[in-house]
Amino acid sequence: MEKQKAPIDHKNAVIRVHGLKKAFGDYEVLRGVNLELYQGENLVVLGRSGTGKSVLIKVISGLLQADAGTVEVLGQKIDQLTTKELQALRIRIGFSFQNSALYDSMTVRKNLEFPLVRNRRGIGRKEIDTSVERVLEAVSLSQTINQMPSELSGGQRKRIGIARTLILNPEIMLYDEPTAGLDPITCIEINELINEVQERYKTSSIIITHDLTCAKQTGDRIAMLLDGKFQREGSFEHVFDTDNARIKPFFDYNFIK
């Protein structure tokens, strides 16, 4: 499945992270992360459980505060923004959560409407409905519109979660383990969805995963998070062309060797 996509603009970084540090108590999770995400690029972040991948994108979206270092998103330093400015910036970033984080008490329709209704005061009913239908169609789940999240499967929840972030036409997408816990076929569908989103919405994305098929299929560039830093970075082939005992097992496990 070769991707056909707009070229990556290597002069234009939409996310710049420099020397990012974050600790919880005595445990230093991130110990100086440097990262640049270019316009139109899919960056895959790999790493073992507990290496702080989720923490990294939570810092990028301002959900957690960094202890040190700078985080610049779409040209704005996120720790220098007022609440209002941060809110405005967040609308331009889509965040797909590890466990989907759908609002349990709302139907799929209400889930999708929520960001729209909340951020575009006075938006008309008709415009809401068309937007909802548009994103549902994008994730090919139009039939679930009146269902509750509890009635959906894990893969469907993931896709609705992605649809909910798409509704605001984000410029950046942050995917936290989009394929974790899904069967191989659903994984491939999600990977295709990620590529499709990038083409259709011209987004730049960070994709966190353990799944090398996902990494290979979606990633333009791979970065390996190890001991709180990016230890290896580059194309898929480059990253795994190593004898490093802590990187190789990833590859061996995923492509049973």
Ligand X SMILES: Nc1ncnc2c1ncn2[C@@H]1O[C@H](COP(=O)(O)OP(=O)(O)OP(=O)(O)O)[C@@H](O)[C@H]1O
Q: Which residues bind other proteins (CB under 8 A)?
A: 25, 58, 61-65, 78-83, 86-88, 90-91, 93, 95, 97-99, 101-105, 114-115, 118-119, 121, 164-165, 168
Query: Least CB distance from residue 247 to other proteins, whole Å?
Result: 29
Q: Which two tokens stand for residue 204?
A: 């730049």
Which CB sits closer to ligand X, 132 or 230? 230
210 neighbors 189 (Cβ within 8 angstroms): no
State in angstroms the smallest separation of the CB of 252 from other proteins. 32
What residues form DSSP beta bridges with 92? none
Instruction: Name the 3-class secondary structure at 94.
Output: strand
- 51, 228 Cβ separation under 8 angstroms: yes
* CB closest to Mg ion, residue no: 54
Least Å distance, CB 54 to Mg ion, is: 3
Residue 93 binding target from ligand X, other proteins, Mg ion, none, CB below 5 to 8 Å by type:
other proteins
Write out the two tokens for 88.
């405005």
The C-alpha atoms of residue 188 and residue 191 are separated, in whole angstroms, by 5
List the one residue from 51, 191, 195, 198 that touches ligand X (CB under 6 A): 51
- Contact 98/176 with Cβ under 8 angstroms? yes
Q: Which of 15, 17, 20, 54 binds ligand X (CB under 6 A)?
A: 54
Sequence-distant (≥ 6) Cβ neighbours of residue 237 within 8 angstroms? none
100 counts as binding ligand X under rule CB under 6 A: no
Where is 174: in which H helix or E strand? strand 172-176
Does 150 sit near ligand X (CB under 6 A)? no
Which residue ranges make up the site for ligand X (CB under 6 A)? 24, 29, 47, 49-55, 98
